[in-house]
Amino acid sequence: MDNKELFARMEQSVINYDKDEAVRLANMALEKGIEPVAAINEGFVKGIQVVGDLFGREEIFLPELVMGADAMTAATDILGEAIKKSGGKAKYLATGIAGTVEGDIHVIGINLVTTFLVANGFNIKFLGTNVSSSLFVDQAKELKPDLILLSALLTTTMPNQKEVIDSLKEAGIRENVKVIVGGAPVSQDWADQIGADGYGENAGAAVEVAKKLMGI
Amino acid sequence: MIKLEERRASIQPIKSKLKISILDDGDIKKINQTALNILEEVGVVFPSQKALKIFADAGAKVDFEKKLVKIPSHLVTDYLKKAPRRYTLAGRRPELDAKIGEGNGTYFYSSGEAPSIVDFETGKRRPSILSDVANMAKIIDYFPIVSLMWPTVSAGDKGETAPIHGVEACFNNTEKHLQTESVMDEISAKYTIEMASVVAGGRDKLRERPVYSLLLCSIAPLAQDRGGIESALAFAEAGLPVGFMSMPTMGLTAPPYQAADLAVGLAEGLAGCVLLQIASPGAPVFITIQPAVINPRSGDYMYGSAFSQITSAAAIQLAHSNGLPILSCANFGGSAYKLNSWQVGRENVYVSLLAVMAGADMSFGPSSLIEAGSLLDMSRLPFDREIFQSIDIITKGIKVNDETLAFDMIREIGPQGTFLGQRRTAEELPKLWPPSILFEKSQVIGEKYRDAEEVAHEMIDWVLKNHHPAPLDEKVRQELRKIVAAADQDENLKREIRGR
């Protein structure tokens, strides 16, 4: 199998929502000494673009989108490790970190946002739920993401979105990232009030906002 | 406008002559067995050391590290036997008591707690504040169709103690039974139980006549919230009723099948009930399963869906087969993301009709909520009231006797006559035409009826200006104020909520 065929299979594995195959092909690429950045950009990213387009045209539903993103993420996790070791960088539209703020364990919304962004060519690290402001700041310092996505589903935890933004200011890195907030009780007014850069009413809107903020 | 008169609070459950069964005996057995298998083999996460210890001491299999509890079937069955099928959700007066399990029909709740409100004056959306909770409690006090209440919106201006302020606002503005679904930590629970005790006239009296109760939502699939479960233990200890709500979402937090949703939801509810029966045997408990579907393109949450609501109604048979009362079907204002749309009306009719016909002990009903429970529009209550009026008429069935067969009238008038000018018609016809916001005569030439939304707004305006809920004793009010002020100063409470 030449590289071109391998890349085509990688693309197809995401289109087929075949996680096992995607992982197998990622490992094969490393064994063959193929540049992991090329495997991501020429193979898997093309697959997720197809899946994202199908979803955008309403030809497939969310479960397929999630399966496609899962296959993509499983493969890029393997390749990403190799890239990190070699000091290279894959080409993503933008990078980000995402999580639900401290005191709040709601996961579904932020999971969907992460999936939507991955399916649209973003590289998002999901930090989980009940994430402290200090963890957001530490991760922002370490990974230097373009975006930080903060979810809050309770009126009592919404103020922690502001706390993250304030902590970023204190750490002197607020200007380096764009902050997008979301969650059921969150509104554009709230986003403006706490000095966020954007507000996404749902996962689809979050992608649009992220693209706009990144000038894409 | 419909003629309104100042009156004291009253409640009106709806009892249906029309009965439906959704599951047959075989179905019930299979779903119950699957729920037991889930509890025994898969388990439920209880992230509370207190709860884990209670389970372990009673003989359940507890993994303290994973916070996972597996409950053998015989324990579930034994402890459920201790749960009462009949008890009272008390109002401040016995006339306002919801007597659960006594065959009075379905008691309806106003639900909540929406974070936003349509401002009554400007008609614009804004975050809700404490005075909104008070105003809505007053409206609920006035309308008999609301038997039980949650604070309908949250006191968004009160930070961590918003739920406690909400409880105070409700106690001050309605005599009806109050249930909270936002007091989700042990410290807040203790403050509000103390408030209820002050209202009832002491701890023993509160136990006798629980004017306050709790509903907590599990985290689907198969997990509980630490703060919520510790709050529930405190409520049960004080003799206050506790409901366990499961909200499985088909294909997201539960398998994409209605039967599986029922099994998962039942397992979550039973696990909570068993915990409370171990800790406080005989504690009044109930369950509710409120499944939802998502829009598979956007992920938007929809519980008005017919798939969801028939599943919620089916849970009634499951709860009753386990000897538990149940709250079923959620008229949370439809899934529509638009004010007063056709979709809201459509959903609110079948949701509540199903609850009544399937024999729910309680149901989420006239709440004035829209947009899937996230927005309160007080002017919607008269619309909800109309829906319930129709449901009451439909489920009462038809009276058949000599008088209503009226053979004498038919013989007298005979073929081609008219019944309009008859004394009996004069007496009966108004009963077939109950007051409605839909048929107010318009003063505008060319317009037959007034805009119903305008009429509804006027009704609520009248209630806000003219209804005066029976006030609490001034000493009681002051005592409540003191407790809330103490909660506001409690740093432990703030830490507990922030770190939850």
One DSSP character per residue, B149-179 reads E--SB--GGGGGGHHHHHHHHHHHH--SEEE
| pLDDT beyond 80 at B238 | yes
Taking only the tens place, the pLDDT of each residue in A186-199 is 989 999 999 999 99
Question: Quick one: which of B326, B96, B296, B118 has its CA closest to B215?
Answer: B326
Evaluated on CA atoms A113, A114, A116, A121, the torsion sign reads: positive
Confidence grade of residue B104 (pLDDT, cut at 50, 70, 90): very high
Vertex B275, ends B274 and B277: CA angle to 5°?
A: 60
Percent of chain B with pLDDT over 90: 84
Give the pLDDT score at A1: 78
Vertex B374, ends B196 and B493: CA angle to 5°?
A: 40
- Partners of residue A189 in chain B, C-beta under 8 Å: 127
Q: What is the DSSP string of A113-179?
A: HHHHHHHTT-EEEEEEEEE-HHHHHHHHHHH--SEEEEE--STTTTHHHHHHHHHHHHTT-GGGSEE
Interface membership of A184 toward B (CB under 8 Å)? yes
Between CA B227 and CA B223 the distance in angstroms is 12
Question: Quick one: which of A177, A183, A213 has its CA closest to A110?
Answer: A183
Give the pLDDT score at B373: 82
Residue at A204: amino acid letter: G
Q: Tell which phi-psi region holds residue B377, choosing left (phi > 0), alpha (psi between -120 and 50) or beta.
A: beta
Between CA A206 and CA A120 the distance in angstroms is 11
Give the pLDDT score at B330: 86
Beta strand pairing call for B301-302 and B293-294: antiparallel
Say yes or no for a CB contact (<8 Å) between A112 and B160: no
Angle subtended by helix axes B258-279 and B306-321, to nearest 10: 40
Cβ contacts of B95 within 8 Å, gap of 6 or more: B10, B11
Class assignment of domain A3-86? mainly alpha
Confidence grade of residue B338 (pLDDT, cut at 50, 70, 90): low
User: Mean pLDDT over residues B34-59, rounded?
Assistant: 98
pLDDT averaged over chain A?
Answer: 91
Helix (H, G, I), strand (E, B) or coil at A100: strand
Q: How many residues does chain B have?
A: 500
Between CA B322 and CA B79 the distance in angstroms is 11
**CA of A206 vs chain B CAs: smallest distance (Å):** 12
Q: Number of CB pairs < 8 Å for A and B?
A: 50
Give the pLDDT score at B411: 97
**Span(s) in chain A for CATH 1.10.1240.10:** 3-86
Helix (H, G, I), strand (E, B) or coil at B190: helix
Q: How many residues does chain A have?
A: 216
* CA B446 to mean position of chain CA atoms: 42
Give the pLDDT score at B1: 66
Give the pLDDT score at B499: 64
Give start and end residues of each alpha helix (H) in B365-446: 381-396, 402-405, 407-413, 423-428
Least confident span in B91-100, B346-355, B472-481:
B346-355
Q: Which of A55, A151, A155 to mutate to test the interface with B (most CBs of B within 10 A)?
A: A155
C-alpha distances in angstroms, B205 versus B167, B200, B215?
A: 19, 6, 21
Give the pLDDT score at A105: 79
Percent of chain A with pLDDT over 70: 100
Q: Which CATH superfamily is domain A95-213 in?
A: Cobalamin-binding domain (3.40.50.280)
Question: Quick one: which of B288, B337, B322 has its CA closest to B308?
Answer: B288
Helix (H, G, I), strand (E, B) or coil at B422: coil
pLDDT averaged over chain B?
Answer: 94
Confidence grade of residue B336 (pLDDT, cut at 50, 70, 90): low
Determine the residue of chain B that is closest to A54 in CA distance.
B297
In the block, residue with structure tokens 């004394």: B423
Between CA A15 and CA A18 the distance in angstroms is 8
* CA A113 to mean position of chain CA atoms: 8
Domain presence at residue B415: no
Beta strand pairing call for B68-70 and A178-182: unpaired
Taking only the tens place, the pLDDT of each residue in B63-96 is 999 999 999 999 999 999 999 999 999 999 999 9
Give the pLDDT score at B145: 94
Between CA B245 and CA B214 the distance in angstroms is 10
Between CA B115 and CA B84 the distance in angstroms is 34
Q: Report long-range pairs for A78-82 (Cβ below 8 Å, ≥24 apart).
A: A78/A23, A78/A26, A78/A27, A78/A30, A79/A26, A79/A29, A79/A30, A79/A36, A79/A37, A79/A39, A79/A40, A79/A44, A80/A36, A80/A40, A82/A30, A82/A36
C-alpha distances in angstroms, B313 versus B107, B111, B327?
A: 15, 17, 9
Interface membership of B499 toward A (CB under 8 Å)? yes
Give the pLDDT score at B298: 79
Taking only the tens place, the pLDDT of each residue in A123-159 is 899 999 889 999 999 999 999 999 999 999 887 789 9
Give the pLDDT score at B333: 62
> Alpha-carbon Rg of chain A, whole angstroms?
18
The encoded tokens of residue A8 equal: 């085509």
| pLDDT beyond 90 at A213 | yes
Candidate from A155, A160, A203 with C-beta closest to B299: A203
Candidate from A155, A184, A187 with C-beta closest to B162: A155
**Domain CATH for B486:** 3.20.20.480
Residue B216, burial from CB neighbour count under 10 angstroms (0-12, 13-18, 19+): buried
Interface membership of B160 toward A (CB under 8 Å)? yes
Taking only the tens place, the pLDDT of each residue in A82-102 is 887 877 777 788 999 999 999
Domain presence at residue B404: no
Beta strand pairing call for A147-151 and B369-370: unpaired
Cβ contacts of B421 within 8 Å, gap of 6 or more: none
The encoded tokens of residue A173 equal: 């890195």
User: Mean pLDDT over residues B213-236, rounded?
Assistant: 95
User: Mean pLDDT over residues B307-327, rounded?
Assistant: 97
User: Mean pLDDT over residues B463-487, rounded?
Assistant: 97
Select, from the ranges A72-76, B289-293, B360-364, the one with the highest average predicted confidence (pLDDT): B360-364
The encoded tokens of residue B55 equal: 């389970």
The encoded tokens of residue B212 equal: 């306050």
Give the pLDDT score at A184: 82
**Span(s) in chain A for CATH 3.40.50.280:** 95-213
- Partners of residue A202 in chain B, C-beta under 8 Å: 298-300
C-alpha distances in angstroms, B206 versus B92, B193, B195?
A: 10, 9, 10
Reported in sequence order, the residue ranges of B74-146 that DSSP labels E, i.e. its strands, are 87-89, 98-100, 107-110, 116-118, 125-127
C-alpha distances in angstroms, B114 versus A106, A168, B296?
A: 17, 31, 24
Residue at B459: amino acid letter: M
DSSP 8-state class, residue B214: E
Residue at B285: amino acid letter: V
- Per the CB < 8 A criterion, the answer to whether A95 and A146 are in contact is yes
Determine the residue of chain B that is closest to A101 in CA distance.
B498
Say yes or no for a CB contact (<8 Å) between B297 and A58: yes
Vertex A125, ends B295 and B68: CA angle to 5°?
A: 70
User: Mean pLDDT over residues B481-492, rounded?
Assistant: 97
Between CA B362 and CA B108 the distance in angstroms is 6
Candidate from A108, A202, A203 with C-beta closest to B252: A108
Beta bridge partners of A100: A151
Element (H, E) at B40: none
Say yes or no for a CB contact (<8 Å) between B299 and A62: yes
Q: How many domains does chain B have?
A: 1
Between CA B273 and CA B277 the distance in angstroms is 6
Confidence grade of residue B302 (pLDDT, cut at 50, 70, 90): confident
Interface membership of A134 toward B (CB under 8 Å)? no
Taking every pair of Cα atoms in chain A, the longest distance, rounded to a whole number of angstroms, is 56
Element (H, E) at B137: helix B130-142
Domain presence at residue B356: yes
Interface membership of A155 toward B (CB under 8 Å)? yes
Q: Which domain holds residue B35?
A: 1-397+435-500
